[in-house]
Structure 1
Amino acid sequence: MRVILVGLAAIAAASPASADIVPSAGGGFASSNQAVVSADLATTWSMLVEPQNWWTHSWSGNSANLSLDPRAGGCFCEVIPAQDDRAPGSAEHMRVVMVMPGSTLRMVGALGPLQAEGLSGTLTVTLADTGEGTLITWDYVVGGQSRQSLEALAPVVDRVQAEFLGGLVAALGGPAPAP
């Protein structure tokens, strides 16, 4: 043990680099939204796994650059076209971890500006037959370390998650009429 400590002390003394500890806030939050559409489960599922038709935020500014491989390990990714003299880019928005076609899509990833923090997010979209359409439940749970206040980020993230669900609902023809 003494040899290890002496070795670590020698490495630390020889290192010219320095580091600052940036204060951060830990914890997390959850966002949950629901909507009912007139579309059946199969139609709703088909639209859900085609985010290029309804997702409202992208790094490139064009949802046509999005793709989703709806299988475990699949990527919800974006191609970012070349600009000026720069080569094309890409972004992984989320990684698929569970697929139950017609029922559940679960992906993990910190969306948008959350990627720059020590945060992780889990999005679970569940579909349920209501007899006259489909109930879509949209849950996004975020946790980890952040240089920004998670308390301040939570309402913004919730609003954006509601936008995503709203985009899916609009692509499916809008909300189901109230009974």
Structure 2
Amino acid sequence: MIRIALAALAFACLTTPAVAEVVERSADHFVLRYESITEGPMEDLPGVVGDMPLWWDPAHTYSGKADNLSISPVLGGCFCERLDDGSVFEHGRVQEWDAETGVLLHAALGPLHGKTNQADWSIGWTGAQPGVRVVMTYVVRGNGLGAYADAVDGVMQTQFYRMIRYLEYGEPA
């Protein structure tokens, strides 16, 4: 039992996610959760979320260019992507943006676009230096969407790792 507790404590001290998983799943919904204890400055977190083009994996954009992403840090602000033809694709909308606690977006990403009843993506933070806890969740509901859980988990897990790495080192990979 002590070995398990020591292993858990050592794992929690790492700056990589201590939790990264599909925490709930049914035929019509899934919930993803990622957590990391980081030494990255808590006051930088709102800016890091806003700097999404600097850490988002460009392979998971429609244009192939993370630089084409933008997020407006205000209620109703657009998480958008400028496409090569000059049009703009709306990935989601900001529902909350609180510099003290986190961000909530309504965002049906990628293949979920147009298929969801709910697609809430949150990035929250608590704690103090050192040891800020960053938790990202993605709650998706819609007919038959539980089948997407593993694929979406793979993409969102990559984005979470890249965001934490950017927070800590100023680079996503």
TM-score range, shorter-chain basis? 0.7 to 0.9
Asked whether the equivalents of residues 73 and 94 of structure 2 are also in contact (C-alpha less than 8 Å), the reply is yes
- Residue of 59, 69, 75 corresponding to 1:72: 75
TM-score, length basis structure 2: 0.75
State the distance in 2 between where 1:35 and 1:156 align. Answer: 21
What residue is the counterpart of 1:27 in the other structure? Answer: 28
Q: Which has the larger radius of gyration?
A: 1
What residue is the counterpart of 1:92 in the other structure? Answer: 90
State the distance in 2 between where 1:151 and 1:115 align. Answer: 14
State the distance in 2 between where 1:93 and 1:102 align. Answer: 24
Deviates more, 1:157-166 or 1:125-134: 125-134
CA RMSD of aligned residues (A): 1.8
Asked whether the equivalents of residues 107 and 123 of structure 1 are also in contact (C-alpha less than 8 Å), the reply is yes
State the distance in 2 between where 1:142 and 1:151 align. Answer: 8
Asked whether the equivalents of residues 108 and 119 of structure 2 are also in contact (C-alpha less than 8 Å), the reply is yes
Q: State the Cα deviation string for residues 52-75 of structure 1 (Å, max 9, x = none).
A: 111112110100001110111000
Kindly indicate whether structure 1 or structure 2 has the higher relative contact order, using CA contacts under 8 Å at least 6 residues apart. 1
Alignment of 1:103 onto 2:108: no
- How do residues 29-178 of structure 1 correspond to structure 2 at under 5 angstroms? 29-56=30-57, 57-82=60-85, 88-146=86-144, 150-173=145-168
Asked whether the equivalents of residues 81 and 91 of structure 2 are also in contact (C-alpha less than 8 Å), the reply is yes
Unmatched tracts of structure 1, length 5 or more:
1-24, 83-87, 175-179
Asked whether the equivalents of residues 107 and 120 of structure 2 are also in contact (C-alpha less than 8 Å), the reply is yes
How many residue pairs match? The answer is 142
Unmatched tracts of structure 2, length 5 or more:
1-25
Asked whether the equivalents of residues 37 and 169 of structure 1 are also in contact (C-alpha less than 8 Å), the reply is yes
TM-score, length basis structure 1: 0.73
Asked whether the equivalents of residues 40 and 133 of structure 1 are also in contact (C-alpha less than 8 Å), the reply is no
Q: Percent identity?
A: 26
